[in-house]
Amino acid sequence: MKQLPPIISAAPPANNPARGAGEPQVAEHLAEHVAEHEEAADLSEASEIRDFQIGQPQHGQRLDRALAELVPEFSRSYLQQLIDAGAVELQGRPVTKASATVHAGAAGRIELKPTPQSQAFRPEPMALQVVFEDAHLRIIDKPAGLVVHPAPGHWSGTLLNGLLALDPRAALLPRAGIVHRLDRDTSGLMVVARSRAAMDALVALIAARDVQRQYLALAHRGWQGARARHVDAPIGRDPRNRLRMAVVDLERHSGKTARTLIELLDGDDRGCAVRCTLETGRTHQIRVHMASIGHPLVGDALYGGAPAAGMTRQALHAFRLALVHPVTGEPLEFRSPPPADLANGLTDWGLDYNRA
């Protein structure tokens, strides 16, 4: 098996000095939510009650679509949030379904107020480890536990919030420049755009699979068979548990093709250290593929793993990121050593994660 340079020799290029900063597939409607934050900001912290009446042009429409016509200065998505929050009444009764059909002549009232979603996209200073930056992109070494972008249950304290505080220009970009993500409890390297030209080019590079992403993982059970295994198994929503992803039969369930190269680094009867190279980028891809071949990640309870070797989060770290600079064309490669919990877990099991 071809051996890559040691993982622990992580360092940014000499002509691109790292710096600490103190001043992550992404949500599809993030740019619209930034606009919603501006809408809510216009209302200040106070709410405004506005009466309306369903006219003939809105008769038979969905409530959210009708409101978008009657209150046109606010986005439909923001109005849907207000409906969900019980801030819309029709004929004196709250209506909480955006799909509810409305009828001409019905009188209504809407409370225009900030929502958790609309307030989520605010700058929040945080210590982000920046290993490289120039005018076009930034490489972040994300710690485990940091959510990449706002979502239900995590409307603040995300990488996106930190990026908005770190760089005011991020507010001008969709998703604050985020072009891919890591799960909350996965640590490691991410590339973030700082200009629209770089963002568009990075999205194209990722789609063309020209951004190389490699991960170090610690998994349960002793490895058997060839030291390198190419897993080619489609991934979709688990039909038995919608909170999980799973390997699926595309003839019976929706999903997408997914491919991961998994290489054994070291192992014993308790478990194995492996290097995973993504060839596609599906949600939870490595976690699902590792579980599918009988090696769930240590600490990954969602996919059959359990705490072990001192690890209580999924033992997965994005240690290598390589790409051609989207603007200058310069080859870039970055490496990140495993964080303390994963390094200690590997040591506890006596596994050498730099072994061929």
pLDDT tens per residue, range 7-26 = 444 333 333 333 333 333 33
pLDDT in tens, 246-277: 999 999 999 999 999 999 999 999 999 999 99
**pTM for this model (two decimals):** 0.74
In the annotation, is 183 catalytic? Answer: yes
Q: What pLDDT, on a 0 to 100 scale, did the predictor assign at position 6?
A: 52
- Over residues 187-213, the mean pLDDT reads 95
Give 207's contacts (C-beta < 8 A, 6+ positions apart): none
∠59-60-65 over CA atoms, to 5°? 85
Max distance between CA atoms of the chain, in angstroms, equals 74
* CATH top-level class of 46-112: alpha beta
Domain boundaries, the chain: 46-112, 123-348
Residue in 129, 215, 135, 213 with CA at minimum distance from that of residue 179: 213
Q: Of how many residues is the chain composed?
A: 356
pLDDT at 9: 40
Angle between helix 63-70 and 76-84 (nearest 10): 120
The two three-digit tokens of residue 251, written as one number: 């003839």
Q: Residue written as tokens 């548990």?
A: 241
How far apart (Å, rounded) are the C-alpha atoms in residues 277 and 262?
Answer: 7
The stretch 316-335 carries a mean pLDDT of 97
For residues 257 and 249, the answer to whether their CB atoms sit within 8 Å is no
Please tell me which residue in 64, 167, 183, 185 is annotated as part of the active site: 183
Overall fold of domain 123-348: Pseudouridine synthase (3.30.2350)
Q: Band of the pLDDT at 35, cuts 50, 70, 90?
A: very low
Q: If 0-12 CB within 10 Å is exposed, 13-18 middle and 19+ buried, where does residue 300 land?
A: buried
Tell me the mean pLDDT in the region 203-225. Answer: 95
Compute the average pLDDT of residues 65-76. Answer: 88
Q: Which two tokens stand for residue 345?
A: 């877990």
Q: Do 123-348 and 46-112 have the same topology in CATH?
A: no
Averaged pLDDT score across all residues of the chain? 87
Q: Which of 22-36, 235-249, 316-330 has the lowest mean pLDDT?
A: 22-36
Residue 95 has pLDDT above 70, yes or no: yes
User: What was the pLDDT predicted at 46?
Assistant: 56
How distant, in Å, are the alpha carbons of 140, 144, 271 from that of 319? 12, 13, 20
In this predicted model, what pLDDT tens digit does every residue of 278-313 receive, in sequence order?
999 999 999 999 999 999 999 999 999 999 999 999
